[in-house]
Amino acid sequence: MPITYLLLGSNQGDREYFLTAATTQLALSVGAVKAKSQLYETAAWGLEDQPAFLNQLLQISTALTPEELLTQINLIEKLLGRERKIKWGARVIDIDILYYDHLALNLPYLIIPHPRLQDRRFALMPLVELAPDFVHPALNKTNKVLLAECPDNLPVVIYKKE
């Protein structure tokens, strides 16, 4: 079965709860969670004047096609209360498909690998934790190399519960 890497993020409400709830729903409707990264606290990217995010990377084995996976992700986000108001705005949950096996896909509604992956430290750090030598199918570079070359300087730290 294909292995996918999904990045979860939350910066509203009980961030840990939303990551846990999303993981549970993904395991029920998408496939087996094979690995989870640590939690990372990250500065907001794109629209920076908002609360920090908690992010976590999941490695999931799925029988779903990329399109079916996207449909399930959108349903889970809606179930957990995500409202899409402002691009890159605050949200209770965000689930991004970073990789779907070694597939390169470019559809009007779905691009895999994630098109801005190489520009986002908050995505690359947990990827390097779980899959440092995985090669980006379009850029032909490992996650380790992408992180070393990443232009993003926003802070990303391992989350320590207060």
Q: For residue 137, is the peptide bond before it cis, meaning its omega torsion is within 30 degrees of 0?
A: no
Q: What confidence category does residue 49 fall into, taking pLDDT thresholds of 50, 70 and 90? A: confident
pLDDT on residue 84: 67
pLDDT on residue 95: 97
Q: What confidence category does residue 162 fall into, taking pLDDT thresholds of 50, 70 and 90? A: low
Percent of the chain past pLDDT 90, that is, above it, reads 86
Mean pLDDT of 78-101: 84
Mean pLDDT of 39-58: 88
CA angle 112, 117, 118 (to 5 degrees): 125
- Counted domains in the chain: 1
Residue-wise pLDDT for 112-129, tens only, equals 999 999 999 999 999 999
- CATH code, domain with 78: 3.30.70.560
Domain extent at residue 10: 3-158
- Rounded to whole angstroms, what are the CA distances from 76 to 25, 39, 138? 7, 20, 28
